[in-house]
Chain A
Amino acid sequence: MTVVAPPEEGYPPAAARPGGLVGALTSLDHKKIGLLTIGTALGLFFVFGALALLMRLQLAQPDQHVVTATTYDQLFTMHGSGMIYLVVTPIAIGYGVYLVPLQVGAPAIAAPRTTLFGFWLYAAGAAAMLLGFLTGGGAGTDGWYAYPPLSDATFTPGPGESLWVVGTFLAVLGMMLLGATVLWTALRLRAPGMTPLRMPLFTWSMVVTCLMTVSAFPALLGAMVLLGIGRNNPSIFSTGTWVVGYQNLFWFYGHPVVYVMFFPFVGAVGETLATFSGRPYAGYKPTVLSLLAFAALSMSVWGHHMFITGRVSNDYYSVTSITLAIPAGIEYFGFLTTILTGRIVYRTAMLFALAFIPQFLIGGLSGVMVGTPVLDYNFNGSYFIVAHFHYTLFAGSVFGLFAGLYLWWPKATGYLLDERLGKWHFWLMVIGTNVTFLPMFGLGLEGMPRRVSTYSTVSGFGTLSLISTCGAFVIALAMAVFVVNVVVSIKRRIPAGPDPWRGQTLEWVTASPPPRYNFSALPPIHSFTPLLDLHDAEPAGRTGPAETRDGQLAEGTR
């Protein structure tokens, strides 16, 4: 390996910091902040997932009252808000906090104190939102978009909804700070030789994600301020102006955030596909361009959530929304070409990445439908929408999340996950996901509105609802297998070595887990896959990822 000067001088000794819990919670190491963010969010993933199971129990049969209507309203509000504000966004950006400095060869993240403060704002927001459950009236009840005037003090009095507003504000502000420091790191702290077009695909996906974070998230902060005012003085909503104005502000954030919860996982899927196809990602430059175009367009499509308000230009938002199919198509070209011209090794990470391709596609194709006003007039507010966004966010993003988790777990912990349990996790997830969410398209077409705590026998929603509930419990089983896998990995401690997958990017050059300042030496960087270049320069004829038996990977592959 060619060694460049290690960036050691000028950094404080790592031992100067306190250890234990205080050390973990106050560390300025981007890896610790990243893992804190991802760990907190993964923990909450189980909490808000459990709320969904309760909802599915209630909806399994017509006229069923497992929980009261008030409780049900808290369940869907906290499930939706929790998953969006406190789980998927933080994991998406947390991946960036952990990985971007490593991928660009930086010893630390830019503005580490701001990054840590961002995590703390997020943690405080999560606490505030959850605290609602302990108040007399319970947690927030107005859904993740909390349209006024329903969410003002007249129609939803009580501290639960106020805590929801405060919690959302804090969590989103925290994510904005994290996004900003990740962006700064990618733009300003790259190692010598790493030009913008040599940044790894995942880093590029984080750059566009963070661009959207800093441009769109302020709109939600404004919306929450508006609600804060409305919860003190509801007369602000006594004309229609801010009733519709809020919807505009909300969706100006609300659409880009969908891509914030999606792009990092596109990056993770791209890296996974390339690694386990044993080749550099195909069509890197067009993909980078398409990500940038996607992010720019995403700022102009919010009105498609508002076709049914009768207050937006249907033609304009339909044009911008359906145009998104072009950059999305370019991303698919990269995915498919990479695996078509590679040699696939079926690790668990790869399985999740492969399943992402057709499953997200269902979300994308139904997205074209809801971008068409005359179809959206039927779908908006129905279970068709619930199916659509769960195909994008669960069948898409969460599968990308797990592709990344299985890919980078050995890097972050130093230990391998069990492949056999991983494959059980994967197949149960595929079955559970499709059995849960496919029937919801049918429910929407049959006329079932979302956010209803029960439905009558004559409505005919019973059969598909029951199937969907069964699927949800298969997902729960899959997640239980995942927990077992994590526990087994931590107990068994099979060392992963620096590079268990024959990785392509700089994070695989350093130890697992990486030391405090990440690298002692860097290889020369001549492309977006510096490590692959290094492997290719080797005389030995290794052409793909290590193909030893499951869980039996030797320490280090170089």
Chain B
Amino acid sequence: MGGLNHRATYGAVWHVELPFAIVVFALIAGTLGVALVRSRLRRGRSPSHKASYPAAEILYVCVVAAAAFSLIGLSVTANASSDPKPAVRVHATAYQWCWRFDYLGTDVSVSGTCIGGDLPTLELPTGESIHVSLTSADVVHSMWVPYLRFKMQAIPHITNTFNLKLTSVGTFPARCAEFCGLYHYAMHFRVKAVPPAQFNSWLHAQERRP
């Protein structure tokens, strides 16, 4: 589902749509300003009663349509998914009110209580493609890693899947983004990106623990 490097895909689209929005806003606010000034200069003269301006309007609609279709093209292109062979598979379960991460193919499982600050840490290798399957044990939650610019709903009785790739080392806060009851505000976790070698030794160390 979706691309692999969500942060990069998001960045590419955001860096087109934000300037686009600013330019459109400036054009319309500018026109509004012109109208206000012009009206002041024309004081004493009659307002036009012309019903419409078909030539200008057709031209304008063409420009708006071209802009809209370009944005649609950009949006749809960015939806393209890639499905590489994942190096790590994680099964994430959201529940009221914390997270459990099972590393598939191992018996390693990470969890916490969330409330009181005991946050689970999802440790992942950088540079590798990671496959996440996501579900919920009770109500609808949403797994949001703001650093990745990505979230997905965790829905009971349904498993959603997505791929991701982390390009740099670091620890990133992550949160539940779908209201899920009383302790929704505390349902956080961390994503810790480490070099693959370090990840593998961490995983093995976890496996050896009873």
Interface residues of A (CB under 8 A from B): 69-70, 73, 142-143, 147, 149-150, 155-156, 237-240, 243-244, 277-280, 282-286, 308-311, 314-315, 318-319, 322-323, 325-326, 329-330, 332-333, 336-337, 339-344, 354, 357-358, 361-362, 365-366, 368-369, 371-375, 377-378, 380-382, 446-447, 449-455, 459, 536, 543-544
7 pairs of A and B residues whose beta carbons are closest in the complex: A447-B146, A381-B177, A329-B64, A240-B158, A452-B185, A240-B157, A341-B48
Complex contact B47–A447 (CB within 8 A): no
Task: Tell me, rounded to whole Å, the shortest Cβ–Cβ distance linking B15 to chain A.
Answer: 11
Complex contact A282–B71 (CB within 8 A): no
For B139, give the chain A residue with the smallest CB separation: A150
For B70, give the chain A residue with the smallest CB separation: A322
Complex contact B52–A282 (CB within 8 A): yes
Task: Tell me, rounded to whole Å, the shortest Cβ–Cβ distance linking A221 to chain B.
Answer: 22
Complex contact A380–B181 (CB within 8 A): no
Residue among B2, B34, B47, B155 making CB contact with A309, cutoff 8 Å: B155
Segment among B72-80, B105-113, B198-206 that sits at the interface with chain A: B72-80
Complex contact A377–B140 (CB within 8 A): no
Measured CA separation A20–B178 after assembly (Å): 48
Complex contact B32–A357 (CB within 8 A): yes
Given A336-B35, A341-B50, also A369-B153 (CB < 8 A): no
Complex contact A381–B185 (CB within 8 A): no
Complex contact A374–B17 (CB within 8 A): no
B residues within 8 A CB of A149?
A: 138-140, 156
Complex contact A368–B28 (CB within 8 A): no
Given A371-B75, A377-B10, A543-B46, also A282-B35 (CB < 8 A): no
Task: Tell me, rounded to whole Å, the shortest Cβ–Cβ distance linking A30 to chain B.
Answer: 30
Residue among B10, B46, B47, B52 making CB contact with A284, cutoff 8 Å: B52
Ordered by A's residue number, 5 sampled pairs between the chains whose C-beta atoms are within 8 Å are: A73-B182, A308-B151, A343-B45, A358-B32, A536-B49
Residue among B47, B53, B74 making CB contact with A544, cutoff 8 Å: B47
For B158, give the chain A residue with the smallest CB separation: A240
Complex contact A332–B149 (CB within 8 A): no
A residues within 8 A CB of B42?
A: 343
Given A381-B177, A447-B173, also A240-B155 (CB < 8 A): yes
Given A325-B67, A382-B177, also A361-B28 (CB < 8 A): yes
Complex contact B1–A286 (CB within 8 A): no
Instruction: Judge if B167 is at the interface, Cβ distance under 8 Å.
Output: no
Instruction: Judge if B51 is at the interface, Cβ distance under 8 Å.
Output: yes
Given A69-B182, A337-B53, also A244-B47 (CB < 8 A): no
Measured CA separation A544–B43 after assembly (Å): 11
A residues within 8 A CB of B25?
A: 358, 361-362, 365
Complex contact A318–B72 (CB within 8 A): yes
B residues within 8 A CB of A332?
A: 28
B residues within 8 A CB of A377?
A: 2, 6, 10, 149-152
B residues within 8 A CB of A340?
A: 31, 34-35, 38
Complex contact A314–B79 (CB within 8 A): yes
Residue among A243, A278, A322, A362 making CB contact with B157, cutoff 8 Å: A243
Residue among A322, A337, A375 making CB contact with B68, cutoff 8 Å: A322
Measured CA separation A447–B158 after assembly (Å): 26
Complex contact A69–B28 (CB within 8 A): no
Complex contact A322–B61 (CB within 8 A): no
Measured CA separation A339–B68 after assembly (Å): 25
Task: Tell me, rounded to whole Å, the shortest Cβ–Cβ distance linking B96 to chain A.
Answer: 8
Measured CA separation A240–B138 after assembly (Å): 11
Measured CA separation A320–B124 after assembly (Å): 37
Task: Tell me, rounded to whole Å, the shortest Cβ–Cβ distance linking A242 to chain B.
Answer: 10
Complex contact A374–B79 (CB within 8 A): yes
Complex contact A382–B51 (CB within 8 A): no
B40-96 contacts to A (CB < 8 Å):
40, 42-43, 45-53, 56-57, 60-61, 64-65, 67-68, 71-72, 74-76, 78-79, 96
Given contacts A240-B158, A378-B149, A459-B173, list 14 more A-B pairs with CB under 8 A: A238-B157, A243-B155, A282-B53, A310-B153, A319-B76, A339-B32, A341-B47, A341-B48, A372-B17, A374-B3, A375-B17, A377-B149, A449-B176, A450-B179
For B63, give the chain A residue with the smallest CB separation: A329
Complex contact A325–B157 (CB within 8 A): no
Instruction: Judge if B104 is at the interface, Cβ distance under 8 Å.
Output: no
Instruction: Judge if B39 is at the interface, Cβ distance under 8 Å.
Output: yes
Task: Tell me, rounded to whole Å, the shortest Cβ–Cβ distance linking A536 to chain B.
Answer: 8
A residues within 8 A CB of B17?
A: 368-369, 372, 375
Instruction: Judge if B36 is at the interface, Cβ distance under 8 Å.
Output: yes
Complex contact B52–A452 (CB within 8 A): no
Task: Tell me, rounded to whole Å, the shortest Cβ–Cβ distance linking A362 to chain B.
Answer: 7
B residues within 8 A CB of A381?
A: 142, 144, 151, 177-178
Complex contact B175–A378 (CB within 8 A): no
B residues within 8 A CB of A449?
A: 144, 175-177, 184
